[in-house]
Amino acid sequence: MQNLSEQEIVRRENLQKIRELGVDPYPPEQFEVTALAADIVANFEEEILEDGKKRGLNYQEVSLAGRIMASREAGKAMFMNLQDSSGRIQLYLRREEICPGEDTALFDMVIKKLLDLGDYVGVKGFVFRTRTGEVTLHVQEFKFLAKSIRPLPIVKRDAEGNVFDAFTDPEQRYRMRYVDLTVNPEYKDIFIKRSKMLSAMRRFFDDQGWLEVETPILQPIHGGAAARPFATHHNTLDMPLYLRIANELYLKRLIVGGFDGVYEIGKMFRNEGMDRTHNPEFTSMEIYVAYKDYNWMMKMVEECLEYVAKAVLDGSTVARFGDQEIDFAGPYERLPLLEGIRKYTGKDVAAMDEAQLRQFCKELHLEVEDNWGRGKMIDEIFGETVEHHLIQPTYITDYPIEMTPLAKKHRSQPGLVERFELYVNGKEIANAYTELNDPLDQRERFEDQLKLRERGDEEAMALDEDFLRSLEYGMPPTSGLGIGIDRLAMLLTNQQTIQEVLLFPQMRPK
């Protein structure tokens, strides 16, 4: 045990003294809770009697549990604030009631002196309204449930709304999320909304009859996306394994296997940079539906996001994000990629050859690498000139084939594939294709990726022979979709950083 602060030493001494007085600071038995603080404060009712006195009509025998977050002594009485999962309520204690006889040790010692802020307690009593009008629990029984031996940085607000001792340092908040959620309970709302978002999405898919599945996180070949993986090693098999960067190829194997619709909501892992929109592990939703194409998928996404937004935003489809208002009600604008570039630059990149594209990139002050092909440059031009305009949900459709080795060739436009990405607030939220199910075409695309890899592109896709075999057996026409769950959560909870929508964002070790 190393250097304890004065306050930690005092709390440990208090813990010992409580035990010496015969009180268990960590009792094993359950404590029955019959009410929540927020419900009481919202619903307490009283009547005024003929003699002018007031009488509570409800909550006259309740039992609450939570942390003591403030304590005010007033002689032989005391006021405290109790915080439970719902909110806070004031407690009122009188010595003569807690300790009716001569022995006032429980009140004078245990409650008045040995109780610390942050301690978990259970209280029973009746609710009334104080002279100053605050709904308060008049405590008749008091019990320690768990002692806190480390001081909490409790936030205080005065009558003018000034905030004192705010626990605001993001590093501390993320590293000690348990403290953050305790002293800044408003952040719990983000995670409650995130949970509502996920359960609404599952409900939407389940109602269509699609099946939630789980596919391997440890994969021998990291396929399905262009990204650098985390590598690990399996001892018994003595082989390298990768944490998945995508689950696409496994979900398609299930479509080959005869499921009409499968989806998975789970973590993906990418060994790349971290910033306010990237965490090394992130949550993605991927869904594949047989006999559909990307036009159908656009409609499905509109219906799904509208449904999910309503579940999170109490029936509204409009999310406030910073100073923007984003409406998730469909239909969304559809803008082919090349038209989008024309719209915002006036240039027709489709007509340009590689040298002309390179020149255009220079004009835009884009740093072009030698190994970039047409597709990569067009993608960069799009990112530079169009992306930030796409505030309301917008589908960008029909991408160059080079960038998209798993999507089917466009039915009418050579050089393009049937792919769309959904942009909201200038950021990509979803990505979908009419899936490539021609096994010979797929093999050629993988081989093109291998060539890119030989040219030094570390993110080029690896060839997955077993996946190709599954396509050779025959995959029905299928449309697939991926949604970045963390980014959708950011939009629906008005948060500017991914760390705020992750309970435990990745941090450097201390």
Partner RNA sequence: GAUCUCGUAGCUCAGCCGGUAGAGCACUUGACUUUUAAUCAAGGGGUCCUGGGUUCGAGUCCCAGCGGGAUCACCA
- Rounded to whole angstroms, how far apart are CA atoms 313 and 172? 29
- Rounded to whole angstroms, how far apart are CA atoms 116 and 165? 18
User: Whose Cβ is closer to RNA: residue 9's or residue 211's?
Assistant: 9
Residues 6+ away with beta carbon under 8 Å from 472? 439
**Tokens representing 179?**
């403290």
Residues 6+ away with beta carbon under 8 Å from 428? 421, 422, 484, 487
- Rounded to whole angstroms, how far apart are CA atoms 408 and 437? 7
C-alpha to C-alpha distances, 359 to 356, 375, 475, nearest whole angstrom: 5, 15, 42
User: Whose Cβ is closer to RNA: residue 197's or residue 256's?
Assistant: 197
| Least CB distance to RNA at residue 76 (A) | 4
| Least CB distance to RNA at residue 237 (A) | 27
Residues 6+ away with beta carbon under 8 Å from 249? 223, 224, 464, 467
User: Whose Cβ is closer to RNA: residue 277's or residue 317's?
Assistant: 277
Residues 6+ away with beta carbon under 8 Å from 105? 21, 99
Residue 461 is given by DSSP the state: P
User: Whose Cβ is closer to RNA: residue 275's or residue 325's?
Assistant: 275
User: Whose Cβ is closer to RNA: residue 72's or residue 320's?
Assistant: 72
Q: Which of 374, 440, 445, 375 is nearest to 406 (CA)?
A: 445
Q: DSSP string covering 292-326, please?
A: --HHHHHHHHHHHHHHHHHHHTTT--EEEETTEEE
| Least CB distance to RNA at residue 404 (A) | 10
| Least CB distance to RNA at residue 176 (A) | 9
| Least CB distance to RNA at residue 132 (A) | 3
| Least CB distance to RNA at residue 8 (A) | 8
User: Whose Cβ is closer to RNA: residue 71's or residue 324's?
Assistant: 71
User: Whose Cβ is closer to RNA: residue 259's or residue 321's?
Assistant: 321
| Least CB distance to RNA at residue 121 (A) | 14
User: Whose Cβ is closer to RNA: residue 10's or residue 217's?
Assistant: 10
**With contact defined as beta carbons under 8 Å apart, do 349 and 321 qualify?**
no
| Least CB distance to RNA at residue 285 (A) | 12
**Dihedral of the alpha carbons of 462, 463, 464, 470, in degrees to the nearest 10:** 140
